[in-house]
Amino acid sequence: MARAVTEIAFTPTVRARQIEEGSRESYEAFDHPDAPADDRLTGIEAAFIMDRDGFYQATVSETGWPYVQFRGGPKGFLKVLDEKTIAYADYRGNRQYITSGNLRTNDRISLILMDYPNRRRLKIWARASQVEAKDDPALMSRLKMDGYRALPERAMILTVEAIDWNCPQHIPRRFTIEELEPQLTAMRAHIAELEAENAELKDFLKPTA
C-alpha cells in the first residue's frame, strides 16, 4: 500500500473505524509525507494489465449508488498508454449506458484486475474521460483489437490516481480453458497412449481358434 491509496481510501470515517478496530497504527506510516506515493504504473503493472482478458470496474451515480460491472475482451484490450494513463475501446453492448452516464456527473472510477491462477489482484483508482469514436479516429485505431468484430462507440481514458497490489490470502485459484490447455493436451495424449495399449492388450488376449 502507498500514500496515494491512503489519501483516497482512508477517509476520516475509515480512519475512525480503524482506530475502533485497532488497525490504525499499522497504517500510519503510509500517511507520512515522505512515504512513496506509488501513483504511477511501472513495467510490472503494465505487463499485468496488458495480460488481462477482463476486469471489474465501479462508478457512482449522481444519486450515490455504486455500479460495478465486468468488462471483458481479448487479452491486451486494456491498453497502457503511459505511466499514468490506461484506456480501452468501449464497444456497443446492451445500450444501458450506466457507466457512461455515471461518468458524466462523477469522473471517479475504480478497477480490480484479477489473476486467479497466480492469486494476484491489482486495484486502480482513476479519473475517467470519454472520447467518442468519431471525434478521434486515430485513438480508436490505437485501441481497437485486430480481428475483434464488435463495434467501438467510444474510448475510455483513465488517468491513474493510485494503485495497490492487494493481499492474495482469500483469492481462489481458478483457470480458464486456455490456461488449462497445456495440461489438457498432455492428458489427452496420455489417454490416447493408454487406449492404444489397451487395444493391443485386448487383441493379444483374444482366444485363438
Asked if residue 167 and residue 196 are part of one domain, the reply reads no
Cα→Cα distances 182→52, 100, 187, 189, Å: 19, 39, 9, 11
Looking at 15-119, which runs of residues are DSSP E strands? 54-60, 66-72, 79-82, 85-91, 108-115
Asked if residue 161 and residue 108 are part of one domain, the reply reads yes
Specify whether the CB–CB gap between 108 and 49 falls below 8 A.
no
Asked if residue 69 and residue 123 are part of one domain, the reply reads yes
Asked if residue 78 and residue 67 are part of one domain, the reply reads yes
Model confidence at 12, pLDDT cuts 50, 70, 90, reads very high
Distance from the Cα of residue 118 to its chain's centroid? 13
If you search the block for the grid coordinates 495497490, which residue do you land on? 164
Q: What is the pLDDT of residues 15-56, one digit of tens each?
A: 999 999 999 998 888 888 877 777 899 999 999 999 999 999
Asked if residue 198 and residue 121 are part of one domain, the reply reads no
Asked if residue 182 and residue 169 are part of one domain, the reply reads no
Asked if residue 28 and residue 59 are part of one domain, the reply reads no
Q: Considering the chain, what percentage of its residues have pLDDT values greater than 70?
A: 100
Asked if residue 184 and residue 124 are part of one domain, the reply reads no
Q: 26: exposed, middle or buried (C-beta count within 10 Å: 0-12, 13-18, 19+)?
A: exposed
Other beta carbons less than 10 A from residue 164's beta carbon: 19
pTM score, whole prediction: 0.84
Distance (Å, whole) CA 160 – CA 70: 19
Other beta carbons less than 10 A from residue 45's beta carbon: 20
The number of distinct structural domains making up the chain is 3
The phi, psi pair for 74, rounded to 5°, reads -65, 150
Residue 44 structural domain: 39-174
Q: What is the pLDDT of residues 69-115, one digit of tens each?
A: 999 988 999 999 999 999 999 987 788 999 999 999 999 999 999 99
Asked if residue 156 and residue 115 are part of one domain, the reply reads yes
DSSP summary character for residue 31: G
Asked if residue 183 and residue 155 are part of one domain, the reply reads no
Asked if residue 194 and residue 166 are part of one domain, the reply reads no
